[in-house]
Structure 1
């Protein structure tokens, strides 16, 4: 499993140079939820370089240096953007949804750019704040809609399970689906937690939002893989039993006795 992880992370760094497999975009999605720890790699390196006796939170958190954590943190979003464009280019037909998926990751890069611009301007209530809120709202609507309609395939009209779909695998925990629907929206709205002037420090807020995002991604994985499995069964790429290659006419079968 370690070699599998190393190999697929290496493939992630060369996104666009090869065809995209399920493991490629699934692993890429995991990294898009790790923007906080990835962006903090810069602060870790900076803290050791300046020394812990010089208050690294002050020395390494200067606005002029925030371009580096922005670039590092958004690398997974850029990789997924490139993968989506590559899938669109490799597809033969009906591939516009890959471009729409690419737009989702582009909106993520835009959101983090507006966030860092707002922080650079002092986290005030000026023009940067307006663009930050607009980018945050766009990102939430875009990603949440994609989560529900594409990644999870829920909110089907007239479904056997209301607001879900006709087929679900976790029959013993149906309420968990509805909890996931609500919590996914709430955690996606985590950027609103940055807006209040008072309260916890930005460092604590970003840490709490990052922890919540990891939880959201964990539950996202269950329903994303479930949807992939059901899709494979529908297309006979995975099945419980093979369909007959001929039409079985029960009326023509000989009767017993």
Structure 2
């Protein structure tokens, strides 16, 4: 019985590896799985906020019809059902010779997601979808003062740069009829892993964030925003130097570009880590983590405990360094390693959210206490001051 059980487990694990591997090589699964994971984690964030004294509604300046953690979890539950089902249907149809039907599965799913997002009628959380799309527009085109939701979502998008790259690869293969074909094995094909489009897509979230910082400097003249812009600019050489491996001679890569890539990766990782701790979180002095309305055993485990800060600082440093792996095209070959690091980056961003939101709430609370009653702004002044955030 033990031997047969071991065989069943081995076969099950092998099937899972084949399922993940084939889906990853086709760029069909990873992006959707990571997106689903991030939606679940965002629901957890909202649940924790709802249990604490932090008013995330005020921080994000959203109306009372916003999605709660329960509604976010409903969405993520549907995603958890739909995404693996679509991937399994693809593999089933492909393995049974229905290549054209298999190729249609990811196309149908992506079109359905896009239609739901832009559906103009007042169903399926219209106000939240509108808020999300409006924020994406403001991120892509920072022509107005930058609000907290703008750069908050833009920061999250930098963690999903590889997701964008996977989506671009998937769209490319759909447009060029390379889904469920042997072409996805060819690294030098138009949609292969050596394509120049990969670094161009990877860098987009960082360019968006950099432009936000420059816009913030234009509005506030705060020099800190320029140093923040410099931080995002350090990701650019990491991405493009890595991509050069497939377009230069081996010796030139080994003795010129690879050392430059190592230096740029080191600078980007440490600069980003420093900024997380001292600016985004303001952990120069260990103050507190969320204060909860109704203390429980798990809130007592977190509230005011220094180990939380040591953990978040140490794990953030390690994951900041490993995330460089994901931005580097010449390292992305082992699909399990790539998927694991992508998932770990989602967890790093997940814990980043708590400290970033708490830091913003501390600033709002402090300014509210120090503001005399005669200086309370009217509604017009509030709109003018919308961009008064530390980016």
- Answering whether residue 264 of structure 2 is matched by residue 135 of structure 1, we say yes
- Answering whether residue 163 of structure 2 is matched by residue 37 of structure 1, we say yes
Q: Is the contact made by 2:332 and 2:338 (CA closer than 8 Å) also made in structure 1? A: no
| Residue 185 (structure 2) aligns with | 57
- Answering whether residue 207 of structure 2 is matched by residue 75 of structure 1, we say no
Aligned CA distance change for structure 1 residues 80 and 117 (closer, same or farther; 3 Å): same
Aligned CA distance change for structure 1 residues 209 and 22 (closer, same or farther; 3 Å): same
Distance in 1, Cα, partners of 2:324 & 2:333: 14
Shift >4 Å, 4+ stretches: 119-124, 191-194, 241-245
Q: 2:355 aligns with which of 223, 238, 256?
A: 223
| Residue 118 (structure 1) aligns with | 245
Distance in 1, Cα, partners of 2:137 & 2:373: 42
TM-score (norm 2): 0.53
| Residue 19 (structure 1) aligns with | 145
Task: Judging by fraction of residues, say which structure has more helix.
Answer: 2
Structure 1: 5+ residue runs without aligned partners?
A: 157-163, 246-257
Q: CA deviation at 1:191?
A: 5.2
Distance in 2, Cα, partners of 1:78 & 1:118: 22
Structure 2: 5+ residue runs without aligned partners?
A: 1-127, 292-298, 375-391
Pairing of 1:201-216 with structure 2 (within 5 A) = 201-216=333-348
Distance in 2, Cα, partners of 1:39 & 1:200: 12
Aligned-CA RMSD value: 2.7
Q: CA deviation at 1:153?
A: 0.5
Distance in 2, Cα, partners of 1:120 & 1:62: 12
Distance in 1, Cα, partners of 2:272 & 2:324: 16
Aligned CA distance change for structure 1 residues 34 and 128 (closer, same or farther; 3 Å): same
| Residue 249 (structure 1) aligns with | none
Q: CA deviation at 1:53?
A: 2.1
Q: CA deviation at 1:235?
A: 1.5
Q: Is the contact made by 2:139 and 2:208 (CA closer than 8 Å) also made in structure 1? A: yes
Q: CA deviation at 1:108?
A: 1.2
Distance in 2, Cα, partners of 1:242 & 1:11: 30
SS at match of 2:283: coil
Distance in 1, Cα, partners of 2:235 & 2:325: 17
Q: Is the contact made by 1:104 and 1:142 (CA closer than 8 Å) also made in structure 2? A: yes
TM-score (norm 1): 0.78
| Residue 252 (structure 1) aligns with | none
Q: Is the contact made by 2:238 and 2:324 (CA closer than 8 Å) also made in structure 1? A: no
| Residue 97 (structure 1) aligns with | 224
Distance in 2, Cα, partners of 1:242 & 1:18: 26
Aligned CA distance change for structure 1 residues 125 and 80 (closer, same or farther; 3 Å): same
Q: Is the contact made by 1:36 and 1:207 (CA closer than 8 Å) also made in structure 2? A: no
Distance in 2, Cα, partners of 1:141 & 1:129: 18
